[in-house]
């Protein structure tokens, strides 16, 4: 990676410090040291300076517009900056990324410290979800299948290593996760029928430590969910979502993506494990500990890569260690995170594609609502009830929040000579109508406790943040950034950005000032409540 601009004050360099494993296990309110803020995936901040009474005093602290420079983007054309990742804040420095670019920005003032760029060999530049930090190293994935380590102080490259095969049409977009001495990375790619996997790499050298393949071992019982070994080895099931971690159980949790071929599932009868599943892995060995399938035998591209959010709760009067996912297919799942057993399965938006639940609590697809050559009207659409924008769980209200979309489209299966052996996609959805609503879900019952339908908003692509001040931050599709009373769902404050929010908001406190930072298109907006 090349450092394009470096504007350093030596004081800023000395003040940066390092990030330790302890900092990641128990983040201070002065930081947001990983994609979801902490290992739980809750995006719930303990900060209380901003609360339901003070939020109306939020002011604009700064706006930062990263400049990608003049070099043309790989493949031609100019780089369009859309910030879809969550910034990371550690030791007073914020790290922001888009595909092939990382910027370090002072978290108090929004002034740029350095900018590193990557000359790309290809891969889909759909997004970069963010960086990870440990020690004095920033880790970032590139679309052309590299994991790159940069120095936090000046963005200089320390090392790079390949994490996927660009020639097979893999690419990489996920935010890495540091757990102990492992840098966990996920991969993407569904143009061809390639197997998904998750890897761990050494934080010092980049050497690969383990790889967990999303398909079962040939000959194992779960292999029976594929019609042949060849079909199974070309499973899909990409790992581009966010991984969460329970340090006491020492388990990683993630959701996997769609099976291959994506739309034409006629020659892959069976549940197609472990695609569209929530899985628990041992972070030191990469071995699978348990799985639950959010969407068996999916044919709608409903990647179940949404955050597996961890929290302790009460079910039927008993304390339980839980995990919840609001999945792309419109279903909300609550599981016991020690063993993957289902606790609740309910719809968080009305859907029309399933006919009940199997004995494990997994939805059963209605074959009539699989893609058809003359079209099937399906809800949700391919974009899903939830997509990549992150949810939030408030420890204060006990509610799981999903900024949801209720959508319809028509799924078509394409007839062609590939009926014998479909590959790739073999169909697609087309057109549609949708409405958007912020759902506050009671995990105990799986029902929606309160719902805020956004006026005149079709799909929303905004993530959520909750705080111990009982505030919930969200965005609509009309360029508004909004604060809600997290318990009641009443709106407390809003600001009109120049375009709609495009990432998940974060918060941190430095020098008695609590900042809330959100991205909209090419800009980062920092709002602040300054202490006396």
Partner 1 sequence: MNRCLVRLKADTTAAATVLMVLAVSTGFAQGPYERQRVDAAAADRGRALYAKHCINCHGSTAKGTDRGPDLIRSSVVLRDRLGNLIGAAIRPGANHQATLAANEIVDLSHFLHQRVEAIVANRNARGPLPVLTGDPESGRAYFNGTGRCSTCHSPTGDLAGIATRIADPANLQQRFLFPTLRRGGKQVEATVTVGQQPPVTGTVVRLDDFFVSLRDASGEYHAFNRGPGITVVVSDPLQGHHELLDRYTDADMHNVTAYLARLK
Catalytic residues: 301
By CB under 8 A, residue 383 contacts partner 1: no
Nearer to partner 1, 264 or 387 (CB): 264
Given the rule CB under 8 A, which of 24-32, 207-215, 277-285, 488-496 is the region that contacts partner 1?
488-496
Residue 154 C-beta: closest distance to partner 1, Å:
29
Is the bond leading into 261 cis (omega within 30 degrees of zero)? yes
Among 21, 67, 342, 478, binds partner 1 (CB under 8 A): 478
Region label for 521, one of left (φ > 0), alpha (ψ between -120 and 50) or beta (otherwise): left
Given the rule CB under 8 A, which of 14-22, 41-49, 206-214, 368-376 is the region that contacts partner 1?
368-376
Contacts of 518 by beta carbon, 8 Å cutoff, 6+ apart: 473, 475, 481, 497, 501, 503, 505, 506, 524, 525, 527
Rounded Cα distance, 6 and 117, in Å: 12
By CB under 8 A, residue 373 contacts partner 1: yes
Contacts of 80 by beta carbon, 8 Å cutoff, 6+ apart: 522
Rounded Cα distance, 246 and 51, in Å: 28
Given the rule CB under 8 A, which of 30-38, 290-298, 418-426, 463-471 is the region that contacts partner 1?
418-426
Rounded Cα distance, 41 and 47, in Å: 16
Q: Compute the chain's Rg from CA coordinates.
A: 22
Rounded Cα distance, 47 and 28, in Å: 10
Rounded Cα distance, 83 and 89, in Å: 16
Rounded Cα distance, 289 and 301, in Å: 25
Query: Contacts with partner 1 in 159-188 (CB under 8 A)?
Result: 166-169, 171
Given the rule CB under 8 A, which of 31-39, 214-222, 439-447, 450-458 is the region that contacts partner 1?
450-458
Nearer to partner 1, 316 or 420 (CB): 420
By CB under 8 A, residue 451 contacts partner 1: no
Among 33, 37, 123, 469, binds partner 1 (CB under 8 A): 123
Rounded Cα distance, 505 and 56, in Å: 17
Rounded Cα distance, 468 and 351, in Å: 33
By CB under 8 A, residue 350 contacts partner 1: yes
Residues 250-289 as x/- pattern, contact with partner 1 by CB under 8 A: ------------xx--------------------------
By CB under 8 A, residue 455 contacts partner 1: yes
By CB under 8 A, residue 229 contacts partner 1: no
Distances (CA, A) of 239 to 123, 187, 386: 16, 5, 16
Among 377, 445, 499, 531, binds partner 1 (CB under 8 A): 377
By CB under 8 A, residue 56 contacts partner 1: no
Among 2, 60, 71, 75, binds partner 1 (CB under 8 A): 75
Nearer to partner 1, 20 or 168 (CB): 168
Sheet holding 342-347, edge to edge: 309-315, 318-326, 331-336, 342-347
Among 38, 271, 276, 476, binds partner 1 (CB under 8 A): 476
Cβ atoms of 36 and 46 within 8 Å: the answer is: no
SS3 212: strand
Total interface residues for partner 1 by CB under 8 A: 65
Nearer to partner 1, 72 or 531 (CB): 72
By CB under 8 A, residue 489 contacts partner 1: no
Residue 484 C-beta: closest distance to partner 1, Å:
11
Positive/negative CA dihedral, 508, 511, 515, 517: negative
Binding positions for partner 1, rule: CB under 8 A:
74-77, 120-125, 144, 166-169, 171, 189, 191-193, 230, 234, 262-263, 350, 352, 368, 372-377, 379, 408, 410, 412, 414-418, 420-421, 423-428, 430-433, 454-457, 476, 478, 480, 482, 491, 494, 496
């Amino acid at each position: 990676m090349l450092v394009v601009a470096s504007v350093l004050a030596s004081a800023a360099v000395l003040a940066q410090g390092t990030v330790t494993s302890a900092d990641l296990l128990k983040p201070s309110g002065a930081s947001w040291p990983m994609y979801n803020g902490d290992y739980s995936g809750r995006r719930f901040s303990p900060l209380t300076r901003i609360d339901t009474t003070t939020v109306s005093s939020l002011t604009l602290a700064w706006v930062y517009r990263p400049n990608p420079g003049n070099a043309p983007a790989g493949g031609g054309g100019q780089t369009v900056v859309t910030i879809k990742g969550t910034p990371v804040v550690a030791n007073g420095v914020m790290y922001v990324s888009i595909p092939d670019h990382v910027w370090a920005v002072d978290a108090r003032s929004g002034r740029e410290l350095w900018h590193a760029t990557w000359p790309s060999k290809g891969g889909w530049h759909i997004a970069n979800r963010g960086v990870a930090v440990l020690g004095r190293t920033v880790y970032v994935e590139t679309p052309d299948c590299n994991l790159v380590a940069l120095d936090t102080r000046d963005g200089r490259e320390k090392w790079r290593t390949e994490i996927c095969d660009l020639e097979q049409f893999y690419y990489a977009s996920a935010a890495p996760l540091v757990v102990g001495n492992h840098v966990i990375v996920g991969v993407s790619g569904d143009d061809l029928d390639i197997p998904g996997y998750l890897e761990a790499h050494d934080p010092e050298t980049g050497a690969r430590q383990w790889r967990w393949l999303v398909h079962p071992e040939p000959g194992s019982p779960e292999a029976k969910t594929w019609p042949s070994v060849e079909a199974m080895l070309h499973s899909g099931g990409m790992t581009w979502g966010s991984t969460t971690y329970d340090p006491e159980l020492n388990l990683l949790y993630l959701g996997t993506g769609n099976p291959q071929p994506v739309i034409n599932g006629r020659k892959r009868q069976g549940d197609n494990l472990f695609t569209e599943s929530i899985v628990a892995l041992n972070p030191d060995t990469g071995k699978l500990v348990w799985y639950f399938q959010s969407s068996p035998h999916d044919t709608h591209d409903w990647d179940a890569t949404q955050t597996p959010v961890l929290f302790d709760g009460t079910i039927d009067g008993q304390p339980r260690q839980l995990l919840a996912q609001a999945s792309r297919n419109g279903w909300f799942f609550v599981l016991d995170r020690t063993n993957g057993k289902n606790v609740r399965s309910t719809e968080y938006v009305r859907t029309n594609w399933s006919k009940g639940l199997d004995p494990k609590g997994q939805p059963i697809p209605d074959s009539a609502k699989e893609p058809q050559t003359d079209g099937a009207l399906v809800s949700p659409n391919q974009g899903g009830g939830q997509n990549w924008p992150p949810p939030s769980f408030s420890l204060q209200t006990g509610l799981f929040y999903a900024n949801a979309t209720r959508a319809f489209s028509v799924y078509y299966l394409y007839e062609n000579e590939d009926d014998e052996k479909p590959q790739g996609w073999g169909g697609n959805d087309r057109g549609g109508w949708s409405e958007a609503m912020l759902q506050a879900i009671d995990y105990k019952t799986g029902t929606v406790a309160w719902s805020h339908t956004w006026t005149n908003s079709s799909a929303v692509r905004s993530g959520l943040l909750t705080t111990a001040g009982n505030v919930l931050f969200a965005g609509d599709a009309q360029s508004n950034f909004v604060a809600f009373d997290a318990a009641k769902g009443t709106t407390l404050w809003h600001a009109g950005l120049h375009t709609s929010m495009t990432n998940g908001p974060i918060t941190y406190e430095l020098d008695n000032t609590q900042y809330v930072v959100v991205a909209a298109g090419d800009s980062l907006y920092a709002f602040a409540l300054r202490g006396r």
